[in-house]
């Protein structure tokens, strides 16, 4: 399900800055899990895991859904798409700069 709100790159980067949240993302990359399944391998309280999940959800990286008594978590493509676009934009800027540098170096090598 696509998010209707705009994903903020600052929220995505903040969410991924924490090693526990990155570990949660890794765990969810295997497929959807309940909150208790997400929490199982961590030596922190369930409340702390829920707080981490809230940060991930606010960033657009994770979506949680309550069905009956079980809250299920899964990765959300929207946050990753924003991150991929941001990285791609930075990469293309540097590739153009390096291409220009290569052209200048080739020109100066030809003039010697």
Residue written as token pair 């220009």: 100
pTM of the predicted model as reported, rounded to 2 decimal places: 0.77
Closest CA to 9 of 44, 60, 75, 47: 60
d(CA 45, CA 41): 11
What pLDDT is recorded for position 7? Answer: 76
- Tens of pLDDT, residue by residue over 65-91, are 998 999 999 999 888 999 999 999 888
Q: How far is CA 10 from the centre of its chain?
A: 11
Give 105: exposed, middle or buried? Use CB within 10 Å, 0-12, 13-18, 19+. Answer: exposed
- Tens of pLDDT, residue by residue over 12-69, are 999 999 999 999 999 999 999 999 999 999 999 999 999 999 999 999 999 999 989 9
Q: What does the block give as tokens for 59?
A: 């960033």
Tell me the backbone φ, ψ of residue 7, rounded to 5 degrees. -85, 130
């Amino acid at each position: 399900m696509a998010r209707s709100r705009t994903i903020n790159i600052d929220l995505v980067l903040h969410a991924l800055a924490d090693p526990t949240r990155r570990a949660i993302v890794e765990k969810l990359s295997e497929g959807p899990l309940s909150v208790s399944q997400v929490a199982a391998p961590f030596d922190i309280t369930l409340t702390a895991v829920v707080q981490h999940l809230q940060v991930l959800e606010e960033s657009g990286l994770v979506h949680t859904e309550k069905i009956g008594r079980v809250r299920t978590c899964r990765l959300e493509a929207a946050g990753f798409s924003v991150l991929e676009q941001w990285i791609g934009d930075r990469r293309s800027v540097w590739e153009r700069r390096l291409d220009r540098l290569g052209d200048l170096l080739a020109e100066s090598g030809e003039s010697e």
